[in-house]
Amino acid sequence: MKRMNKLTVCLSIIALAGSLLAACSNNNNTTNSSASPSPSASASSASPSESPSASPSEDPNAPVDGGSLVIGTFSDIVAINPIYIQDTSSGDVATFALANLYDLDRSGKVAAEPWSLAASLPEISADGLSYTVKLKPEAKWNDGTPVSADDILFTYNTMKNPDAGSPAISVTDKIDTITKVDDKTVTFKLKQVYAPFIYSLYTALAPYHILKDVPVTELEKHPYGSDVAQTVTNGPWKWTEWNKGQYLTFEADPNYWGSVKPHIQKITYKIYADQNTEVQALLTGDIDMTAAVPLPLLETVQGNSDIAVNLAPGPQYEYFAFNFKDENFPGNYSLFKGQKTRQAIAYALNRQGMVDNILKGTGTLMNSPFLATSWANPGDAATNYTYDPEKAKQLLAEDGWVAGKDGILEKDGHKFSFELQYNSGNSRRESVAAVIQQNLKDVGIEVKTTALDFATWVDQNLNPGVFEAALGAWSLSNPDPDQESIFSSKYYPPAGQNNIWYKNEKIDQLWVDGYSTTDQAQRTEIYKQIGAEISADLPYIFLYQYGTPQAFNKKINYAEEDKPEASLAYGQFFHIINWWIK
């Protein structure tokens, strides 16, 4: 009897903990995609603080060398081989240990910074097909080997080789040839004009001299990137320790080649299984910063005078997806085929209420798949659906929906009742799903909400496109606005991510036009048209751009131009080489 009880308790604990975890793995996973630059809408509230303890003879705001920075995170890294990085944590630490070929400026444009490997911006040929990249002559790996054209060739040739299994293949497969011009110069030739290609130059390189003899199918398993001793790096900090599941440490590399040297001596990347504990650790001073303060704890963190909080939303947006495939519905009838029906649902939802109450003001409304902070944001060209249940009812009536006996709308014998799926353990989505359910009930639509284990949901429903409606998010690690693979009918599952089986020929063509020119003005105009068309047609209801608030202990100092930038992926470490601890 006693043992029986124990088993039950144990199982329920695993179930509970598992659901908490699902939320984390979700965060971890959605951080891969494409699109959007921008000047941040909201300024960081963190600012260089004047420390009274500074000696009077010095400028109190001058950077000081030394000190240590402890960063809290919710997940261990996988490995930092740049050919395979796809999880947030590995991407975070690669920022410290590996220099990028190019970096991003605050507005999300590709830039050759003093710490980038490239000497200057790529020279793009007049036909838009060739990109010539020149490396800085002084750039070298920390074993003394210079960073050379061979590293670029090796990295990109591996990424575009399907046998290597690199996630970067979706962009690098646009490359026709890569030629070595000299030891420090390389020319990429593309198969077609493809504007987002420039963002594939925003990457770290793999060391040719270490990996050249490894068969391509063995590369992912190679200890480069997971064994500290075998991982030569070329960034400002070298990787010194990996205590698995607990923390990683990085120390300023005395052999670093850059003209700008890091001020911070030691960086510790510390893993917390529980976000509540992580925030407590921030409050006790065990850690100095985190990029993810859970919303329920936001006020507590804001109330601490030692901590600065940045509320600006990150490069990600949440959506409510309609499935257009009849086979997914009972009676082989997709309820969402009518454009007016979809518009009615958009009017029925109180999106502003979600932002105010659930996101506690940390989000911005979206009307198209382009972030509010992006140059591609269509602004007023996209339809803004304000909360208007009466208008919703009217549109539903126009589309032929009539109330049945139980008050639920019906059309041609089909009841307007559907299942809305999302992943369990994500409290934000749970709350949003509940609001959607209530809002739609008010206009006569029945919504059944189903929360599923993240891994199961992705495998069984999202990837194959088997669901009626879903609540999800796209995270845009690359600031280009192109999202063809989500919305174009060329990309139905399993070959693409148009898992809602949406087809709009005009939009299909506009995506192609959008990436087939490198003329910025022309691109802006095209994405404006997409915004107008897609917000009228509504394959998704675009809900809001959101983010988890970032928090920084005020002992972290930086000049105004080096402050963290929430709207960029990894933007919490923006210009970290220039930060100092005091």
Binding residues (CB under 8 A) for another protein: these are: 2-3, 10, 13-14, 16-18, 20-22, 24-25, 29, 32-34, 70, 78-79, 86-87, 162-163, 165-167, 169-170, 217, 220-221, 223, 225-226, 243-247, 268, 270, 272-274, 276-277, 280-281, 283-284, 286, 453-460, 462-463, 485, 494-495, 497
**Spatial CA neighbour of 68 closest among 337, 235, 311, 262:** 262
- Cα–Cα distance between 472 and 487 in angstroms, integer? 14
Q: Which is nearer to another protein, 34 or 377 (CB)?
A: 34
* Stretch (H or E) spanning 20: helix 2-30
CB of 418 to another protein, least distance (A): 22
Q: Which is nearer to another protein, 286 or 446 (CB)?
A: 286
CB of 192 to another protein, least distance (A): 18
Give 384's DSSP letter: P
DSSP 29-45: HH----------SS--S
CB of 475 to another protein, least distance (A): 10
Q: Which is nearer to another protein, 155 or 439 (CB)?
A: 155
- Cα–Cα distance between 453 and 572 in angstroms, integer? 29
Q: Which is nearer to another protein, 220 or 525 (CB)?
A: 220
Helices assigned H by DSSP within 196-289:
208-211, 275-284
**Spatial CA neighbour of 292 closest among 81, 139, 498, 475:** 475
Q: Which is nearer to another protein, 145 or 161 (CB)?
A: 161
Q: Which is nearer to another protein, 485 or 489 (CB)?
A: 485
CB of 42 to another protein, least distance (A): 29
**Spatial CA neighbour of 341 closest among 463, 469, 466:** 469
3-class DSSP state of 524 = helix
CB of 251 to another protein, least distance (A): 13
Q: Write out the two tokens for 361.
A: 């003001």
- Cα–Cα distance between 128 and 520 in angstroms, integer? 12
CB of 240 to another protein, least distance (A): 12
Q: Which is nearer to another protein, 80 or 371 (CB)?
A: 80
**Spatial CA neighbour of 164 closest among 212, 219, 122, 124:** 219
Q: Which is nearer to another protein, 39 or 167 (CB)?
A: 167
Query: Dihedral through CA 450, CA 465, CA 500, CA 29, nearest 10?
Result: 70
Q: Which is nearer to another protein, 77 or 507 (CB)?
A: 77
Q: Which is nearer to another protein, 128 or 496 (CB)?
A: 496
Dihedral over Cα of 499, 503, 507, 508: its sign: positive
CB of 477 to another protein, least distance (A): 9
Specify whether the CB–CB gap between 442 and 452 falls below 8 A.
Answer: no
Measure CA of the first residue to CA of the last residue in the chain; give whole Å. 59
Q: Which is nearer to another protein, 174 or 575 (CB)?
A: 174
CB of 408 to another protein, least distance (A): 31
**Spatial CA neighbour of 443 closest among 304, 542, 575, 346:** 346
- Cα–Cα distance between 72 and 247 in angstroms, integer? 9
Q: Which is nearer to another protein, 176 or 227 (CB)?
A: 227
Looking up tokens 């192609």, which residue turns up? 512
CB of 412 to another protein, least distance (A): 34
CB of 156 to another protein, least distance (A): 16
Specify whether the CB–CB gap between 213 and 554 falls below 8 A.
Answer: no
- Cα–Cα distance between 29 and 94 in angstroms, integer? 17
CB of 78 to another protein, least distance (A): 5
Q: Which is nearer to another protein, 93 or 392 (CB)?
A: 93
Q: Write out the two tokens for 461.
A: 């429903």
**Spatial CA neighbour of 546 closest among 358, 276, 353:** 358
Q: Which is nearer to another protein, 242 or 401 (CB)?
A: 242
Question: Can the peptide bond before residue 315 be classed as cis, meaning omega within 30 degrees of 0?
Answer: no
Helices assigned H by DSSP within 110-235:
149-159, 169-172, 208-211
CB of 456 to another protein, least distance (A): 4
Specify whether the CB–CB gap between 467 and 335 falls below 8 A.
Answer: no
The C-alpha R_g of the chain, in whole angstroms, comes to: 25
**Spatial CA neighbour of 564 closest among 192, 309, 183:** 309
CB of 167 to another protein, least distance (A): 4
Q: Which residues contact 208 (CB under 8 A, 6 or more apart)?
A: 148, 150, 151, 153, 154, 155
CB of 490 to another protein, least distance (A): 13
